Copies of this chain bind each other. A is one copy, B any other.
């Protein structure tokens, strides 16, 4: 393996000193880039792209060619695990992810197996190995997974949901069934992320996209508890380096304090919580990643720079900040604005 040339991202996640604030962007390899759209057209469907390690590597590296980013993130989908469990993931145009089969009962859940990542998810591990090799140590590679609760919402609802009526119906009416599903998912995510680490991922992140739809009690019992189980089961070192683990619950600003108790290294923060406030609440136990409103990138370069500085200033002195948006970049953003942002973060983040 090539030696890592830029480790500012890993150092910041471990709250070690850095020369300037590192930045990466959620969905940095995505539809806002014309070169991504070209590769995607060549691949066929979105899943065809995810399942082709060479093309997944190609799109993973594209944003690094344009911008001075401090990390690469595996190009994949959060729903690969339920797909590997046999639910049949597909993307209907303009509709988001859908499953051919859904989970609606205890007996459906009992039939589910825990996928072997080197078998059913071999295409992901091949992508990790390919990307890691092609990065030549330029920046670290982030591996990721959806959280058990987030995966469960899609598996029970059959796709995206506004109200989560089915999965919450199960939560309130058949909590034991939901717990069984979440246990299987936590085991699956643990072995999936460990396999990514073995294949070369240098940091991992768990995306809890829908944890914010829960009540505080339900969040702890049905989302956070299973993320904690995963954190406890992860291999935290590879090649003599620590593997930082980041948890991100969108809309989870009120729960940062309990999230910081899970043993993770960093928390993602969306833009509805100020970083100074977030930092106070986690009492510097973990690093923070975030949190500019993705919509700032619709504004002029001057406003982008000003808002980037605000985020850096809100975090304040001392180590432990990774700059990011508070959610994924939108598809209609002008790539030139991203360059303005990345350069501004490195300029204003200088120590």
Contacts and interface: CB of A to CB of B under 8 A. Distances in A.
A17 interface: no
Interface string A142-165: 000000000000000000000111
A272 B214 contact: yes
A91 interface: no
A330 B163 contact: yes
B165 A215 contact: no
A299 B171 CA distance: 9
Contacts of A214: 272, 293
A300 interface: yes
Interface of A: 163-165, 168-169, 171-173, 212-218, 251, 253-254, 271-274, 277, 293-296, 298-300, 303, 307, 330, 332
A271 B165 contact: no
B271 A215 contact: yes
Given A171-B295, A215-B271, A251-B251, 14 more contacts: A164-B295, A165-B332, A168-B293, A168-B296, A168-B298, A169-B298, A169-B299, A172-B307, A173-B298, A173-B299, A213-B272, A215-B274, A216-B277, A254-B272
16 contacts: A163-B294, A163-B295, A163-B330, A165-B298, A165-B332, A168-B296, A169-B295, A169-B299, A172-B296, A172-B299, A173-B299, A173-B300, A213-B272, A215-B274, A216-B272, A218-B293
Give how many copies assemble into the complex: 2
Interface of A (DSSP majority class)? helix
Contacts of A307: 172
A213 B251 CA distance: 10
A164 B299 CA distance: 13
Given A215-B272, A300-B173, A330-B163, A295 B254 contact: no
Contacts of A300: 173
A94 to B, nearest CB: 12
A164 B294 CA distance: 10
Given A214-B272, A298-B172, A299-B173, A165 B330 contact: yes
A222 B215 CA distance: 27
Nearest to A277: B216
B299 A272 contact: no
Contacts of A274: 215-217
Nearest to A255: B272
Contact of A173 (B172, B272, B303): B303
B272 A172 contact: no
A300 B175 CA distance: 12
Contacts of A251: 251, 272
Nearest to A215: B271
Contacts of A295: 163-165, 168-169, 171-172
A78 to B, nearest CB: 17
A218 B291 CA distance: 14
Given A299-B173, A300-B173, A293 B254 contact: no
A164 B251 CA distance: 16
